Structure 1
Amino acid sequence: MSERTVTVASSVGLHARPASLFAQAAAKVGVPVTLTNAAGKSVNAASILGVLSLGIGHGETVTIAAEGDGADAALDTLAEVLNTDLDKEE
């Protein structure tokens, strides 16, 4: 299993629009991805409700993990999403 630890850049964290954009990106990568908050709670990264339930704020560190063919590329893509302030994107 591949993992990446990432700091959330969005100014409001993973709430509303940023959580939706992240979950959509996770659904498109082609491998199952989990998102884990600092407290150790893990959810399916493609689930908007799961992502919202973690209550991840700006500057918090999260771990994304995936397994299977293309896992590293998927995690690189999702890490880039989390490293972007999705509140500023048009």
Structure 2
Amino acid sequence: MPEQKAFVAAEIGLHARAAAVFVRAVTETGLPVTIRKPNGLPVDARSLLEVMTEDFGHGCEVLLAVAPDALSDDQSVPEAESALIALSAVLEGTQAR
């Protein structure tokens, strides 16, 4: 399963604007991405409500993932890995959106 570790850079965590920017970026990938804390349960990263409800605070470590069996026929594991790296950059504030 493609997985990428990231840290939430937004000062107020993934709430309101930062969460919306992240969810929009996830949706643009077209991939079924999940986000979770290291010992937490995954939530759908395409859902603004689920992302905001999980309380991913400033500096919080998160794991982004895409299950290979969730990929459609026109999506590949390397494509998913690249997308997760880009999404990690969005969370860490190293990529403007």
TM-score (norm 1): 0.88
RMSD over equivalenced CA pairs, Å? 1.9
Aligned residue runs from structure 1 range 33-48, under 5 A: 33-48=33-48
User: Which has the larger share of helix?
Assistant: 2
Count residues with an aligned counterpart.
Answer: 88
Aligned equivalent of 1:72: 81
Identify, as 1 or 2, the structure richer in strand. 1
SS of the residue 1:4 aligns to = strand
- 5+ residue gaps, structure 2, are none
Larger Rg: 2
Q: For the Cα contact (< 8 Å) 1:33–1:44, is it kept in 2?
A: yes
Aligned partner of 1:4 in structure 2 is 4
Identical-pair percentage: 38
Structure 1: 5+ residue stretches without partners: none
Q: Which amino acid aligns with 1:75?
A: L
Retained in 2: the 8 A contact 1:36–1:64?
yes
Displacement after TM superposition at 1:38 (Å): 3.8
Deviates more, 1:65-74 or 1:77-86: 77-86
Name segments (4+ residues, structure 1) moved above 3 Å: none
